[in-house]
Structure 1
Amino acid sequence: MNLPNSSTDIPIESVLLRRLCLLSAVWICSVVLLLPGATPRVLYAEEPAYPPPDFTVAFIGDQGLGANAKAVLDLIQSEGAAMVLHQGDFDYVDNPDAWDQQINDSLGATFPYFASVGNHDLAQWTGYQQKLQARLDGIPEASCGGDLGVNSACHYQGLFFILSGVGTLGSDHETYLREQLAADDSLWTICSWHKNQHAMQVGSKPDEVGWEAYEACREAGAIIATGHEHSYSRTRTLSHIESQTIDATCDDDPNTPDADVCVSAGRTFVFVSGIAGIGIRNQDRCLPATTPYGCAGEWAKIYASDQGAQYGALFITFHVDGDPKKARAYFKNIDGEVIDSFTITATNALTYHTFVPIVIR
């Protein structure tokens, strides 16, 4: 919809703006226009704080160079993903040019591809960051502030996501996370970083992040995307991450094969998507290898060498079935098998804005 510009179409002294924000899942914000003798028009509207319908994002980590990595990128292309969020560890050979070319060969030079730094990216991080910045500069709809891939907050197509180097590179990550999350009211928010806490992966990785980063994102209702451990694992809805406390109030659709999840202030889920092309590891924790898994029952899906894992990616399609608060997610491998399939419901109190013109006669 083409909207008038307040500075040219309507004299500023004739406009009174008033927001009436109701305590509901939707902010209803009224625009009051005082236009004697004029035809009422909407003054302006804010960018919707949610993605367009059927907007698909691919999540990968731990990639490498070669046939397996290319097969995952080709899968991303064939699934119709509109962007990639890469949770660190790129090519493992410190070659930014080769890594960037591999992406270009499958997805194209202008494909929206965002990434967080991984430990295997440190030796040539300046080169990788330059590649990521050049790609960002070619996407006019995207904006990122801060130190890209280390402490950076980004908006693209109604998604808000933070690319963090917590546990890997940089400092003051927890403060940055809290400040950026508090300043944004997008319906869908993602925290993306590389490393893990031991209890938030099913292999042998130690505590390398700290719980504060996880809990800051949970408190804001942000999806937490990680890599580092070379397997795929996904939790149920957690109301406290350090204690792996499951939120039993999240409804689970019996028509979906795997546990659905909810994101809102105080609850979210965590996943590791670390099998994008270079090595698949075994399940060391929360055995047995079949459901119901061990530990506290926090894992909804585990896919490692114990389960015969093949390389793949997690796909999340936002704004499905005409509902901006609903997303559909699935992990698919390069053999075409869907390993995990679930629905995500966002129930944040502050979601999006609707502007209603009110004419005072």
Structure 2
Amino acid sequence: MAGSLSTWVRAGLSAGLLSLTMVLAACVPGPPPEPVRFTAQGDIGLGAGAEKVLDVIAGLDPQLNLALGDLSYKAGREEEFCDMVTGKLGPEFPYQLITGNHESNGDDGDIDTFARCLPNSLPGLEGEYGKQWRVDVPEDNPAVRFIMVSPGIDFNDGEPLDYSRGSERWRWTEEAIDQARSEGIPWTVVGMHTLCFSVGEKDCDAGKAFTNMLIDKKVDLVLSAHDHLYQRSHQVELGASCPELVPDKFSEPCLSDKDGSMVQGQGTVFATIGVGGVGLYDVKNKDPEAGYFSTWSGKNRNPALGTLDVTVDAEQLTARFVPAEGYKFTDSFTIERK
């Protein structure tokens, strides 16, 4: 009996030590994620401006690029566009696509053809590449989740994909955001071609409800193109004094931070980078929505082609606008993690 008791005691101690070891291991944080550097821009074309912007991207040497739609602007010249990109950046570079309105229905190009000659190069991507997809980078211990969507874009049947409140694509987007948070991924970036508020020519093609959902979810950074200009918002947040952003109006209480150094969780930053190579649009600085923006560049004000250059790590998101050769406009901002 004494031997059996001793065996039980030893077994109990071993089990207790094992449990304690597991608890302590769970409390020890893993290594921080490796930094990720990416560039983003849209409205590109096939001209000298597009080549200048590609030269900037090549010089920055990011890990990937987000092409935010409106690629060749020419039907039947998809392969020429792909050759231009791979000639500047190499055939293996992750030049990641989301459709714009100029290649969604085939009139000025076909997104499926672009996706074949510039295929996904990132492991772990989920969804329909070119139209709606998500990916964590790096795949293991990610620093950022990219969620790429296509609200307000007409496809071959003449109808936009359904991103209305409660729709399947709305829920897919919400779940992708929520899951990133639950998994402890430091940063969430949503990209699309369309936008909702702007000092350019475009209206709220992305949809008011969908845009407000992204703000309500506190997405860190929302990237778009569509308007051929650069504009970057202040950090915007919903709350009791700002229940929603309304297109064509400005509400000061919706601004949570108005300088270039922001804190994660206090709102969302919107950046439009429709300056990938084609002709620029004018900035309408008297637009009612101008109060949401910190800075802008267009045909009539500080014109510049270029790209947004973003680096994320465990502690900070840093971004800057890098102009192409011959242009001078710049911008920079940071978001610190809590």
Asked if 2 retains the 8 angstrom alpha-carbon contact of 1:166 and 1:173, the reply is no
1:164 aligns with 2:149: yes
CA 1:249–1:108 in 2, change beyond 3 Å: closer, same or farther?
same
The superposition leaves residues 130-188 of structure 1 with CA deviations (integer Å, 9 ceiling, x where unpaired) of: 234x342xx4xx32111223221111222201110111153343222112111222111
- Any unmatched runs of 5+ in structure 1? 1-12, 19-29, 34-41, 253-258, 288-293, 348-361
Task: Look up the match of 1:127.
Answer: 113
> Which structure has the larger Rg over C-alpha atoms?
2
Change (3 A) 1:15 1:153: farther
Displacement after TM superposition at 1:341 (Å): 1.6
The structure showing larger relative contact order (alpha-carbon pairs under 8 Å, at least 6 residues apart) is 1
1:304 corresponding residue in structure 2: 298
**Contact persistence 1:64–1:277 (CA under 8 A):** yes
Q: Residues 216 and 346 from structure 1, CA distance in 2 versus in 1: closer, same or farther, beyond 3 angstroms?
A: farther
Task: Kindly state the Cα deviation for residue 239 of structure 1 after the two structures are TM-superposed.
Answer: 0.5
Structure with greater strand share of residues: 1
Deviations 1:226-252 (A, max 9, x none): 000000000000003614555665484
How far did residue 79 of structure 1 move?
1.7
Percent of paired sites with the same residue? 22
1:211: which partner in 2? Answer: 208
| Corresponding letter in the other structure for 2:191 | S
Equivalent residue of 1:106, what SS? helix
SS of corresponding position for 2:300: helix
Q: In the alignment, residue 32 of structure 1 is paired with which amino acid?
A: V
Rounded to whole Å, the distance in 2 between the matches of 1:32 and 1:341 is 42
Q: Where does residue 191 of structure 1 map in the other structure?
A: 190
1:344 counterpart (332, 335, 338)? 335
Secondary structure of the corresponding residue to residue 301 of structure 1: strand
Structure 2 portions without partners, runs of 5+: 1-14, 154-159, 163-167, 239-243
Root mean square deviation of aligned Cα? 2.9
The structure-2 alpha-carbon separation of the partners of 1:249 and 1:274, relative to structure 1 and needing over 3 Å to count, comes to closer
Counterparts in 2 of 1:98-137, with a 5 A limit? 98-122=80-104, 123=106, 124-132=110-118, 134-136=119-121
How far apart are residue 311 of structure 1 and its match?
0.8
For this pair of structures, how many residues does the alignment match?
290
User: With structure 1 as the length reference, what TM-score do the two structures score?
Assistant: 0.72
Query: Does 2:175 correspond to 1:176?
Result: no
Q: Is the 8 A contact 2:227 2:274 kept in 1?
A: yes
Q: Deviations over 1:304-347 (max 9, x none)?
A: 1121312101111222xxxx221221111113635112212233
Q: TM-score, normalised by structure 2?
A: 0.76
C-alpha separation between the residues in 1 aligned to 2:200 and 2:93?
32
Is the contact between residue 151 and residue 176 of structure 1 (CA under 8 Å) also seen in structure 2?
no
